[in-house]
């Protein structure tokens, strides 16, 4: 599990994608969706979720 301040590229891409598609309707839970879509582990998917929520109300 990578918890440092420099996440790998796949996690960063997943976080950016999730930030843009946060309100899209989903067929399944987000962790399995991110795992399949970006080829990352469950812990990396959780990190991507955490990263996508950083920045407060001004982040789009």
Contact assessment for residue 4 and residue 34, using Cβ atoms and an 8 Å cutoff:
no
Please identify which residue in the block is written with the tokens 């996508």.
52
pTM of the complete model: 0.76
Token pair in block for residue 26: 């989903």
* Residue 2 pLDDT > 70: no
Summarize pLDDT for 9-42 with one digit per residue, the tens: 999 999 999 999 988 998 889 999 999 999 999 9
| SS3 state of residue 14 | helix
What per-residue confidence (pLDDT) applies to 54?
87
User: What average pLDDT does this structure show over 39-48?
Assistant: 96
At residue 15, the pLDDT reads: 96
pLDDT at 59 over 70: no
Taking residue 33's Cβ as centre, other Cβ atoms within 10 Å add up to 17
CA distance 59 to 40: 24
Distance separating alpha carbons of residues 12 and 20, to the nearest angstrom: 13
């Amino acid at each position: 599990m990578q918890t440092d301040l420099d996440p790998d590229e796949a996690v960063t891409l997943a976080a950016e994608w999730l930030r843009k598609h946060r309100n899209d309707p989903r067929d399944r839970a987000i962790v399995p969706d991110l795992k399949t879509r970006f080829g990352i582990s469950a812990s990396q998917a959780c990190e991507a979720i955490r990263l996508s929520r950083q920045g407060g109300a001004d982040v789009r």
